[in-house]
Chain A
């Protein structure tokens, strides 16, 4: 899905936990996430801490979208 959307010339960031798969299938902007059942969250954290983490992850994704890349790139 990522690649097909990118083919339209729209930058797309893949937020995924198993980034090895993202790379294999050819995503270019990759933000590693927490865990498969809760990529953008962590139920083990206190509510406020989870919020900070979640904001941070989405910021990273936005940062990826505003960064030029030439091939598969991780934003950590």
Chain B
């Protein structure tokens, strides 16, 4: 019999059997026993895992002292070194849900230990942690405990043994938002024709791809004095110096590059070219400024129309690049531009 994997359990003051609302201000404590839902949990692990202890924390305390609470709890987890952390289920309790969610996120991000929790779909904690932790779908009240625990335990068992989880429907968790590539029996065209016929007959059908939802950002205030403004040039058109020194991918970029253009008049060929794999490169390779117009900006700088062209030119390839990567690039580049007190940005796309 192989060694049992270790589980650490997190509950609030109520499920930790300390008290109700009056004890919601209690600071976290570690208890080497199995308290509340943790008590029955071990049995559900079918002898493959053991619960090494319970962390109990007041909901109010956690939410009002998030950093201090996390510090304490993460330290306990480091000491106990569990293979899986289980939190909740929090059902529709908002503060408890937020505590489970924040904890789950921190444990996955910082300690790389998988976390299972359980919540009602409308619990605000779901959106905080569903991408990181496995959140099983529960009812909205503690009456669902008996149903929730076996589901959580089944997942903990798989996580503890390193077995890949099945689909959200099979396992009972709220989708993490991950698009998992897999094989199916029928080819795509067959599935399309069947979906079409179902639609035409008014029968139920299910799309394979719910449409993405993009958030909006408030526009930044306009530049007041263009003549004194520093303008930065960015592109997702893949214009890079000859030889692509940073190896920016031709599609599905994993990185961006920045290049000093302070002494250049233009992004002229052959010193620059495009590494972008998503369009006919011939025209961009003739005159890279057709994609990123450094030459015109430099002229405007000379004429005094703008104050200055920012020293660094930022570039990556847009084609097939995941939105999450683009976000990451934008955040990194934005932070640099902010620090350099750049006043405005021109971003060109192909």
Contacts and interface: CB of A to CB of B under 8 A. Distances in A.
Interface of A: 1-17, 22, 24-26, 28-29, 33, 36-41, 43, 54-55, 57-59, 61-62, 65-71
Contact of A5 (B226, B283, B305, B337): B337
A21 to B, nearest CB: 8
B349 interface: yes
A47 to B, nearest CB: 10
Nearest to B297: A58
Interface centre among B300, B329, B347 (most CB of A within 10 A): B347
Nearest to A51: B296
B279 A1 contact: no
A71 B299 CA distance: 30
A43 B286 contact: yes
A71 B284 CA distance: 31
A15 B80 CA distance: 53
A71 B348 contact: no
A6 B344 contact: no
A2 B330 contact: yes
B219 A10 contact: no
B111 interface: no
A13 B342 CA distance: 13
Contacts of A58: 293, 296-297, 300, 346
A18 B161 CA distance: 48
Contacts of B236: 1
B334 A8 contact: yes
B59 interface: no
B342 to A, nearest CB: 6
B287 to A, nearest CB: 6
Given A5-B345, A58-B293, A37 B221 contact: no
B25 interface: no
A15 B347 contact: yes
Nearest to B350: A36
B330 A39 contact: no
